[in-house]
Structure 1
Amino acid sequence: MKRFEFKDALYIKKGKVLPVANEEREHIGFIEKVDISGCEKGHGFTFTDNDGTTVAIGIQKRGIKNLLAATYLIKTTNETYTLKDKVGNSLLYFCVEGNIDGKNIRVEENWSKEVEVKVDHTHIATIRPADFSFHTIILVEDNLCESSILFAVVVLMYFMYKIYKNESEFIEDILFD
């Protein structure tokens, strides 16, 4: 597996750039916080690789009907994809499913508090969220290209996971305090 990492922050402001580096500490792209049309303010991010290709992800604006289950919009230059919280599972742990370029994708939290990404039931990546060092580590299969949309989605799903964790902690505090 190939290893990538970036230094996270407690709060990312618009305009702040988080470089993503490979095992040799070479920057392969960067992450930015952005506003995305049709998405909740403050819940949009982009990954831009060294070739200038940008993939954006954000949480679609929610209403009463979809308050508990988020829809994630993924935008490239030519396409828009959607992933959704798996109803039922998302109340207990982070679990997102959808389809990108005809491939089924599933992103879910495991018992070790890591996030696993599976495409067509094959494990392709593991995201190890930042600890006290604030270094987030991403392990991906050797055949996953850094300029692919799937790689960008893997990198960006970390931020959707962070938003989910913050919101679920908030709801838990309200319910159990």
Structure 2
Amino acid sequence: MKQYHFKDGLYMGKGKVLPVENEKKESIGYIEKEDISRFEKGSSFSYTFNNGTTVVMGIEKRSIKNFLVATYIIKMEGITYTLKDKAGNSLLYFCVVGEIDGKNIRIDENWSQEVEIKIDGIHIATIKPDDFSFKTRILLEENFDESSTFFAVSVLMYFMYKIYKKEAAFIENLISD
């Protein structure tokens, strides 16, 4: 597996840039927070490859009828993809499904609180957050390219996972009080 990493801080503010590096500590792209009106406040991020191509991901604003199921919008070079929380599963753990480039994608939280990305049922990446060092690692299968849409989605999905965890903790506190 190929390994990539970025330093995550407690607060990702607008204008802050997080470089994504490979095993040789070479920058392969960077992450930024975005502010897009179509998305929930604080839920949109972009990943820019070294060649200048940018992928933006955010959570679409929710209403009463879709309050419990988030919709994730991905925009890249005039193409838009939509992923959604898997109804039922997302109440228990982070689980997002959809289709990108004609391939089914599933993003699940595992028992180790890591995020696994599967394309057409094949595991391609694991996101491993480290709350102590704030270094997030992405392990990518050898046959997947770091310049692919799937890699950018893997990087950005970490931030969607963080938002999910904050919301889940908030709901858990409401229920337990």
Partner of 1:32: 32
User: What CA distance in whole angstroms lies between the structure 2 residues aligned with 1:45 and 1:107?
Assistant: 17
Identity across the alignment (%): 67
Q: In the alignment, residue 4 of structure 2 is paired with which amino acid?
A: F
Partner of 2:169: 169
Name the Cα RMSD after superposition. Answer: 0.7
Deviation above 4 Å: which 4+ runs of structure 1? none
The answer to whether the aligner puts 1:95 opposite 2:95 as a matched pair is yes
* TM-score, length-scaled by structure 1: 0.98
Deviation string, structure 1 residues 155-176 (Cα, Å, up to 9, x no partner): 0000000000000000100110
Q: In the alignment, residue 153 of structure 2 is paired with which amino acid?
A: V
The answer to whether the aligner puts 1:110 opposite 2:119 as a matched pair is no
User: What CA distance in whole angstroms lies between the structure 2 residues aligned with 1:159 and 1:41?
Assistant: 13
Are 1:53 and 1:147, in contact at CA under 8 Å, matched by a contact in 2? no
Deviation string, structure 1 residues 17-67 (Cα, Å, up to 9, x no partner): 000000000000000000124111210000001000100000000000111
> Residue 125 of structure 2 aligns to a residue in which SS?
strand
Partner of 1:77: 77
> Residue 43 of structure 2 aligns to a residue in which SS?
strand
> Residue 136 of structure 2 aligns to a residue in which SS?
strand
> Residue 40 of structure 2 aligns to a residue in which SS?
strand
User: What CA distance in whole angstroms lies between the structure 1 residues aligned with 2:55 and 2:170?
Assistant: 29
Partner of 1:61: 61
The answer to whether the aligner puts 1:5 opposite 2:5 as a matched pair is yes
> Residue 40 of structure 1 aligns to a residue in which SS?
coil
Deviation string, structure 1 residues 84-137 (Cα, Å, up to 9, x no partner): 000000000000000001000000000111100000000000000132100000
Give ranges in structure 1 of 5+ residues lacking alignment. Answer: none
User: What CA distance in whole angstroms lies between the structure 2 residues aligned with 1:143 and 1:52?
Assistant: 23
Q: In the alignment, residue 137 of structure 2 is paired with which amino acid?
A: I
| Between 36-45 and 46-55, the greater mean CA deviation after superposition | 36-45
Give ranges in structure 2 of 5+ residues lacking alignment. Answer: none
Partner of 2:144: 144
The answer to whether the aligner puts 1:14 opposite 2:14 as a matched pair is yes
Aligned residues: 177
The offset of 1:74, in angstroms, is 0.2
Partner of 1:130: 130
Partner of 1:51: 51
Q: In the alignment, residue 15 of structure 1 is paired with which amino acid?
A: G
User: What CA distance in whole angstroms lies between the structure 2 residues aligned with 1:95 and 1:34?
Assistant: 23
Q: In the alignment, residue 109 of structure 1 is paired with which amino acid?
A: E
